[in-house]
Every structure is written in structure tokens, then in C-alpha cells.
Chain A
Amino acid sequence: MFVYRSAATISPVDYMVCSHRLRWPELLPWVAIIAAYFAFPSYLALGAQVMIMVLFALSLDLVLGYAGIVTLGHAAFFGVGAYTAGILAVHGWEEAITALPVAAAVAGAVGLVTGYIILRTRGLTLLMLTLAVASMLGEAANKANWLTGGADGLQGITLRPLLGVFHFDLFGRTAFVYCALVLFAGWVFVRRLVHAPFGRSLTGIRENAARMHAIGAPVRQRQIIVYTIAAALAGVAGALEAQTTQFVGLNVLSFDLSGAVLIMLIFGGVGRLYGAFVGAPLYMVAQDALSRLDPEYWFFWVGLLLVVTVMFARGGILGVADLLRRKVMR
């Protein structure tokens, strides 16, 4: 189904032992982020948005890339996190950092409950249920005007300076560094998780659930756990979005966002941890460029790109890069 890092050149045991070691290309995203901070001081707000999407796509990679659960409603958790952080701030909890774990907990709880219900099903039914959860929450946010501001969005989010020192400035410097640090923490966490036995068992479930059952792995339980973890992580991304833009609109729960994050991950490459880092910036830059070139019909080109990617470049950019590298090496 997907193309993964080639393990063919080394023995499986070596692969299992070595694969978690840090290799130098893994530091590239962080070099890029630090460079971006100094190179594009006028685009820091956009940079923060991109990093939020990277974190969001990273959480999707856990569910989709590692556990193989196809979801069309991952925005549900992003949205719950965003609304949690936004509502907390509006009601006087103006400390941003402590709001993150709260958002993660609420989004994780939603993930746990819905995951418990919907992960009994498979295939198309599961797909549809993930979509249904997100659109139900969207409907709820729309109806609960008193809490969420409904279609007008949640306004009036104010935050105290981070750690009492760093104001959220107009240029987005604080927001950029804040998002970068949270993303870094998220990356360390996800990286450890997927290389841990738990992550390995997820890969096993994705590749062959029946066999994992047969060797005694608690398949459903693992799926529910990873779904919950990914939901919490998506909730953190949503909370960052609410805090840095100081606004939450209904679009955080929309199908468009669920679709967009899916597309980012696919463009980057699924199940490889770094697809999110490649896909999200690329998608956002491409969207920006396309919507400037063709403001009314830009998503036609996104759709076309998607169809072409699926037809000819299944592994996304990183997959194609791997393929090319292998061809050159041979």
C-alpha cells in the first residue's frame, strides 16, 4: 500500500536496532525553521501557521501512516482543541502554555469516546463515521452560539505574555518561536512513540491486523490508544491556532480542513514521520500561490494535483525522492 524506508539493504535485525538512531537529515527541518526565523522576518505569522499545520499533519500521520486508520474527520480534534483554548481564554484563562494540556485532554477525551465507538467498524463505514463525527461537532459548534459564537466565530481571545515576559507581538515573533518549540516537543514525542514497541505494533496492525491478533496483540485497544493520542496532539495544534490567530471560526471543524491535512500528508509522504514537514509547507505555499494566480478556481488545481499524485506518485514527495535515490545509487 505505501512505500516505506527501504530495509532491503540491511538485515531486519539491524534495521530494528538502528532505525531509531538520529540521522542527520532528520535535523534539516529544524535548521530550516531557525533559518526561516532570520531570513523571513515579515512572514513569521505565516511560518507559525505552517508549523501548526505540520503538527496537525504529524498527528494524522500517527493514525493514518502508522496505524493505517483512514480518517476523513481529523479536523474534529483540531477544532475541539481550538475551541477549548479559545473558550478558556475568553473566560479568563489567559495563560497560553497551561491551556495546551487542557486542550489536549479535551480533544483526547473526544478521541477516546468516538474512537471507542467507531473503531469497531472497518473500511468505508469507518471512513464515513470519522466524517460524521467531525460534521456532528461542526453542527454542534454552529448551534451552541452562546459558547462558540456560532457562525460569527469566537472573538475576543486575549492572552497574557508567555511566561509573563514574551508578548504576542504584531510581527508574530513570539508566536513563531512558541509554535516551533511546541512542534519540536511534539516531534520528539511522536518520534519516540513510533520507534517504541507500541509504534512497531501499530505498524504490524496496519500491515496485517489478523496476524497481530494471532500473535496476541490487543489490536482494537492499540488502535483506540493511538487514536486518542493523535486526537490530543491534533488538539494541541488546534489550541496553537486559536492562540496565535486569536480567533476560532467554524472552519476548524470543517471537511475542508480534514481534507486539506490529509492532502498535505499525502503530498509529503505517509507513514514516514517527515511527510508532514514536507507536505504542510508545500501545500500552504502552493495554495497561496495558486489562490493568487487563480483566486476562484485554485482548488481545481489542487484536485488535479491530488489525482495525479495518486495515479503516478503514490509515496508522495519523500516516496519519489526515495525512489530516485535508490535508482541513482544502483
Chain B
Amino acid sequence: MKAGAVPRQERVSAVNEFLSALVSIMFHGLAYAMILYVVSVGLSVTMGLMGFANLAHGVFAMAGGYVAISLMSRLGLSFGPAVVLAVLVVAAASVVLERLLYARLYGAGEIEQVLFTIGLIFMSIAAAKFMFGSSQQELVLPAALRGEVSILGRMFPTYRAFIIVTGAIIALGLWLGLERSQFGARVRAAVDNRRMARSVGIDTDRLFSLTFALGSGLAALGGALGGELLTIHPAYAIEHLVYFLTVVAVGGLGSIRGPFLAAVLLGVGDTACKYLLPDIGAFFIYFALFGLLLWRPAGLFGRA
């Protein structure tokens, strides 16, 4: 063998290492993306439907996380029922909030909506701190979701695989549900032209409440399921606000597919850059954001 040549075995292992890093980035990135998607898609729909700048959307995700975790730790429920119950509780609470407060501001200016929702965020931070303390809440996973699972000869963390599968199912369900059902047709009609929708007899007020509940419920689901990726703590809603809004803005308001694509792009890109370039990787999301929105100001699937 000539001096300086890399032995074949080492070359193979280097390639292997690179591949496994790539697969692992894809995998972690996708899991992250799914959480971002599930939390943000509701925001996209309510934003497109009602034109409401609801910065407090993350509060519902945080609430979902808190409710699920305390149902498990204090009432001893198991993971599945706790998450389902948390989604229902948050969705129900969100309807009350929507009818009592949000609905009064539908016609108001953007600044009022922004301030109102910032006020809600402040209150939620204080309330969460008061009820659960300022430390992070640990999501105790059931045994079935701990450990690793083997897919195509590689080992993957079961929890993340579960998140990816669940996220994909939800995305598919939402897409089918809003494309194929009458409810979906009404929602799309109201997004396109609210006054026209109202004049052909669609009860837009009820539609708003329903979609708001759906969006908040999904956020709660994302918050509860993703509790280990985006840890639940009082400042949750502010800390992840940029990410949630980015997914919505890049995806395009009122779209279902847009946030999915945006979440995958940003989740995988963010994970990859933070892993490969630890020093400057955190800036990826901003450059992606500015680049994409310069190219398409209304988002990937948005109507200009």
C-alpha cells in the first residue's frame, strides 16, 4: 500500500459516520418540525380566518403541556388519556376565552390585538409560575416510548419516531379534513371571503369558535406531546414565539400545507445548522426567514 492512502476500511467508516449523522439530523429535525407544525397550524388557520394576530397562541401549547403533566403526576393518569384530556380541557377553555375576549377584538386594529395577546402572555407567565413554580416540568414518558426502536437496521429514539408518525398522521388528517369535508369547505370559504361566506348563510361566528378551539386544541396537543423537545416552563410562549410565527409567516396565512412545508424546512434546517455549525447555526432560521420572505412576501402558499 502506498504511503498516505487512506485504508479502505477507514474510508467506509467515515462515509458511514457522515451518513449516520445525516440520518440523525433528519430524524431529530423532523421530530422538531412536527411539534412546530402541530403547534403552529392552528395559528395559521385562525390567523387566515379571522385576521387575528394571536401572539398568545403558544400559551395554549404551554397550557396543554402543564395540564397533561399535572394530570399524570397528580392524578396518576397514564400518558395517552392525560394528553387527550389536556387537549379537550384547553380547547374548551379557549372557546370561553374566544367568546368572552377575542371576539370583541375581531374588528379592532392590529395593535390592539397585539397588545391584548401580549397581556395574555404576561398573565400566563405569572399564572404558570404561581401554579407550577418557575422550574421546567419534566414530561414522564410511558415505558413504551422510552428507549430506542430499530428502523431499517438503525436505532432511533422511540419518542421521536412516535412524534414524527403522530405529526404526519395529524397533517394528513387535517389536510383531508379541511379539503374534503363540508366543515373544511366552509372554513376555506370564510378564509377566502368572509363577507361572501356570511351572505351565503355560513354562520361565521360559530365557525370561528370551532376553528379557534381546533387550533388551540392542536397547540395543546403539540405542547403536551412535545414536552420533552420544547420543555414546558413559564416563559414557553415567549421563548418559542419567533419560531411559531416564522412557521406561519413562511407557510402563508390560512394555509394547511404551507405550515407543514415551512415547519419541515425550518425544523430540519435549524437542527442541521445547530449541529454542523454550533457557533452560528442559531442564525439559520433568521436568514431562511428573510430569504424566503424576500422571495415570497406572502409565504410559500399564501395569497398575496
Residues of A within 8 A of B (CB): 1-2, 64, 70, 72, 117-118, 120-121, 123-125, 127-129, 131-132, 135-136, 139-140, 143, 255, 259, 262-263, 266, 270, 296-300, 302-307, 309-311, 314
B residues within 8 A CB of A129?
249, 289-290, 293
Q: Across the interface, do B299 and A296 meet the contact criterion of CB distance under 8 Å?
A: no
Interface flags, B112-127, vs A, CB<8A=1, else 0: 1011101111111111
A139's partner among B253, B282, B299 (CB-CB below 8 A) is: B282
State how many angstroms separate the Cβ of A95 from the closest Cβ of chain B.
34
- Whether a CB of chain A sits under 8 angstroms from the CB of B129 is yes
Q: How far is the CA of A135 from the CA of B246 in the complex (A)?
A: 12
Given A1-B111, A310-B119, verify A300-B126 contact (CB < 8 Å). Answer: yes
Given A1-B109, A262-B115, verify A125-B299 contact (CB < 8 Å). Answer: yes
Q: How far is the CA of A303 from the CA of B125 in the complex (A)?
A: 10
Q: Which residue of B lies closest to A135 (CB)?
A: B242
Q: How far is the CA of A244 from the CA of B111 in the complex (A)?
A: 32
Q: How far is the CA of A210 from the CA of B253 in the complex (A)?
A: 22
A residues within 8 A CB of B111?
1, 64, 70, 266, 270
Q: Across the interface, do A132 and B104 meet the contact criterion of CB distance under 8 Å?
A: no
Given A262-B118, A303-B121, verify A297-B126 contact (CB < 8 Å). Answer: yes
Q: Which residue of A lies closest to B279 (CB)?
A: A143
- Whether a CB of chain A sits under 8 angstroms from the CB of B213 is no
Q: How far is the CA of A311 from the CA of B100 in the complex (A)?
A: 11
B residues within 8 A CB of A309?
115
Given A1-B111, A140-B283, A314-B112, verify A128-B104 contact (CB < 8 Å). Answer: no
- Whether a CB of chain A sits under 8 angstroms from the CB of B241 is yes
A residues within 8 A CB of B108?
1, 310, 314
Residues of B within 8 A of A (CB): 47, 51, 53, 55, 101, 104-105, 108-112, 114-116, 118-127, 129-130, 238, 241-242, 245-246, 248-249, 253, 279-280, 282-283, 286, 289-290, 293-294, 297-299
Q: Across the interface, do B122 and A121 meet the contact criterion of CB distance under 8 Å?
A: no
State how many angstroms separate the Cβ of A261 from the closest Cβ of chain B.
12
B residues within 8 A CB of A314?
108, 112
B residues within 8 A CB of A125?
249, 253, 293, 297-299
Q: How far is the CA of A167 from the CA of B136 in the complex (A)?
A: 46
Q: Across the interface, do A70 and B110 meet the contact criterion of CB distance under 8 Å?
A: yes
Q: Which residue of A lies closest to B114 (CB)?
A: A70
Q: Which residue of A lies closest to B121 (CB)?
A: A303
Q: Across the interface, do A143 and B280 meet the contact criterion of CB distance under 8 Å?
A: yes
Q: Across the interface, do A307 and B101 meet the contact criterion of CB distance under 8 Å?
A: yes
Q: Across the interface, do B114 and A121 meet the contact criterion of CB distance under 8 Å?
A: no
Q: Which residue of A lies closest to B299 (CB)?
A: A125
A residues within 8 A CB of B297?
120-121, 125
B residues within 8 A CB of A117?
290, 294
State how many angstroms separate the Cβ of A112 from the closest Cβ of chain B.
15
Q: How far is the CA of A309 from the CA of B298 in the complex (A)?
A: 32
Q: Across the interface, do B245 and A304 meet the contact criterion of CB distance under 8 Å?
A: no
B115, B124, B297: residue with the most chain A Cβ atoms closer than 10 Å: B115
A residues within 8 A CB of B119?
302-307, 310
A residues within 8 A CB of B238?
255
B114's partner among A127, A136, A140, A298 (CB-CB below 8 A) is: A127
The 22 listed contacts between A and B (C-beta, < 8 Å) are A1-B108, A70-B110, A118-B293, A123-B51, A129-B290, A132-B242, A132-B290, A135-B242, A139-B283, A143-B279, A262-B115, A263-B118, A266-B111, A300-B122, A302-B119, A302-B122, A303-B120, A303-B122, A303-B123, A306-B116, A307-B119, A310-B112
B129, B241, B286: residue with the most chain A Cβ atoms closer than 10 Å: B286
Q: How far is the CA of A131 from the CA of B249 in the complex (A)?
A: 12
